[in-house]
């Protein structure tokens, strides 16, 4: 797991704390990275994947620091990762072992959330292991939780960011074509909402391939297929063509939404992107080198720390409700996500235009200014 020396990733912002854990009985290996808590308790999802690395977790923890700050919510950046295949039958034992090893940090310094490889039932297991309702969010409604993946809140936010960016850029969303990488919880909710707003979804992808239909995919039909056959929905759909993996990134479309994993848009892919607008539904989907190429090609990017922040806004509501006997109203959360995401998207696009920078730089500068203000208020010395 330690593909990078932890000391090499430390800068003025963090990480404040890195905890490596293991269990010889189950084979569990994991890490918790608490990046920066100047604005509040560390909060970020826990990822379970066979190939997860410390570098992955550290990068995602920093994304969370910026994400909380850019939407102006008072929580800190953190992330956890477990190097394990979530499809193995001993997943629960490994997850319980990981949670037990972090009893010193949870919930005072870190609150569990859901990321790739974990779902609502896993959040329930985390609470059962902790014996504390305050240790995790994303739990089932039967436990008083706000299941934001099931409700599609992150995807709703991505769609709202897309709609707002299109409006700022003078793009008619109702006459626009959209390609979405990933048809999981985020991609499905994004497709559903953009379809409701009048956009034409021309491509979606799963682990089984890419469905491409230039005249428009029947999103309702795809959603129904996905619920029955999962990733095979691209092959089971009648109509359109099935293309090879990653073709969705370069098909003819006005808008591209990478909503799967990090680093999928590299230098080669960036040169082939045909979209005018790219909205980062996933965290870190575009490499730094590819980002520069897209900038040179005048492609506008709505960065992850804004575009997919719907999940963190929902998590903030869930955090606030952890000890409350009342359920959070999903409609209240939907409204808050739409409002905050649209406001911040418009603000960073305006700032980028006025300063001649990029939306990513504008968003990072906004986040940094808020984190630095909190750090200084806590007595951290000024720095250049």
- Same topology, domains 6-68+77-145 and 146-324+333-384? Answer is yes
- What are the tokens at 38? 């100047």
Q: Is the pLDDT of residue 377 over 70?
A: yes
Stretch 199-214: mean pLDDT, rounded?
96
Please report the pLDDT score of residue 329 as a whole number.
Answer: 82
Q: Is the pLDDT of residue 382 over 70?
A: no
Q: Is the pLDDT of residue 360 over 60?
A: yes
Give whole-number Cα distances, 89 to 73, 95, 121, in Å: 37, 11, 14
- The answer, yes or no, to whether the previous bond of 370 is cis (omega within 30 of 0) is no
Instruction: Give me the helix-helix angle, 219-229 and 185-196, nearest 10°.
Output: 160
To which H or E segment does residue 279 belong? strand 277-279
Give just the sign of the alpha carbon dihedral 84, 89, 90, 93: positive
What is the pTM for the complete model shown?
Answer: 0.89
Query: What percentage of the chain exceeds 90 in pLDDT?
Result: 82
Please report the pLDDT score of residue 320 as a whole number.
Answer: 76
Please report the pLDDT score of residue 324 as a whole number.
Answer: 66
What's the pLDDT tens digit per position in 115-147?
989 998 999 999 999 986 578 888 888 887 787
CATH number for region 146-324+333-384: 3.40.50.720
Residue 239: count of CB within 10 angstroms of its CB = 11
- What are the tokens at 168? 């700022």
C-beta of residue 21 within 8 angstroms of C-beta of residue 82: no
The verdict on domain 6-68+77-145 having CATH code 3.40.50.10860 is: yes
Q: List the catalytic residue out of 43, 67, 79, 91.
A: 79
Q: Would you list the domain boundaries of the chain?
A: 6-68+77-145, 146-324+333-384
Confidence of residue 103 (pLDDT cuts 50, 70, 90): very high
79 catalytic residue (yes or no) = yes
Residue 117 φ then ψ, to 5°: 95, -10
What's the pLDDT tens digit per position in 15-63?
999 999 999 999 999 999 999 999 999 999 999 999 999 999 999 999 9
- State the chain's mean pLDDT as an integer: 93
Higher per-residue pLDDT: 211 or 319? 211
Beta bridge partners of 114: 46
Alpha helices in 131-236 (DSSP H): 148-151, 153-169, 185-196, 219-229, 233-236
**Residue whose entry in the numeric block shows the structure tokens 């006005």:** 254
Confidence of residue 384 (pLDDT cuts 50, 70, 90): low
- Of 305-309, 343-347, 377-381, least confident by mean pLDDT is 377-381
Give the Cα-Cα-Cα angle 248, 230, 331 (nearest 5 degrees).
Answer: 85
Residue of 96, 197, 120, 124 whose CA lies nearest to 155: 197
To which H or E segment does residue 322 belong? none
């Amino acid at each position: 797991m330690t593909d990078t020396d932890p000391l090499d990733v430390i800068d003025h912002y963090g990480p404040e704390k890195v905890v490596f854990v293991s269990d010889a009985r189950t084979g569990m290996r994991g890490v918790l990275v608490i990046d920066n808590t100047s604005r509040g308790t560390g909060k970020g999802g826990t990822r379970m994947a066979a190939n997860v690395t410390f570098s992955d977790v550290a990068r995602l923890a920093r994304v969370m620091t910026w994400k909380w700050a850019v939407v102006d919510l008072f929580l800190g950046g953190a992330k956890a990762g477990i190097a394990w295949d979530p499809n193995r039958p001993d997943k629960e034992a490994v997850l319980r072992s990981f949670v037990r090893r972090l009893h010193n940090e949870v919930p005072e310094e870190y609150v569990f959330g859901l990321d790739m490889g974990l779902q609502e039932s896993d959040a329930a297991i985390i609470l059962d292991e902790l014996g504390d309702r305050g240790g995790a969010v994303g739990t089932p409604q039967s436990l008083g939780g706000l299941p934001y993946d099931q409700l599609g809140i992150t995807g709703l936010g991505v769609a709202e960011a897309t709609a707002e960016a299109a409006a700022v850029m003078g793009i008619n969303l109702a006459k626009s074509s959209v390609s979405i990488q990933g048809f999981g919880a985020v991609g499905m909710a994004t497709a559903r909402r953009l379809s409701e707003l009048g956009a034409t979804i021309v491509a979606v992808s799963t682990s089984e391939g890419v469905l491409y239909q230039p005249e428009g995919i029947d999103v309702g039909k795809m959603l129904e297929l996905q619920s029955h056959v999962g990733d095979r929905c691209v092959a089971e759909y009648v109509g359109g063509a099935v293309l090879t993996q990653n073709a969705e990134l370069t098909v003819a479309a006005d808008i591209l939404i990478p909503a799967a994993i990090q680093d999928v848009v590299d230098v080669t892919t960036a040169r082939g992107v045909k979209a005018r607008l790219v909205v980062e539904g996933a965290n870190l989907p575009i490499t730094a080198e590819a980002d520069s190429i897209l900038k040179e090609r005048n492609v506008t990017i709505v960065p992850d720390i804004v575009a997919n922040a719907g999940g963190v806004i929902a998590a903030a509501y869930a955090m606030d409700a952890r000890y409350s006997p009342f359920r959070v109203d999903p409609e209240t959360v939907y409204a808050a996500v739409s409002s905050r995401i649209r406001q911040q998207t418009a603000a960073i696009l305006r700032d980028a235009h006025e300063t001649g920078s990029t939306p990513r730089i504008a968003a990072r500068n906004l986040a940094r200014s808020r984190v630095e203000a909190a750090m200084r208020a806590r007595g951290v010395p000024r720095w250049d």
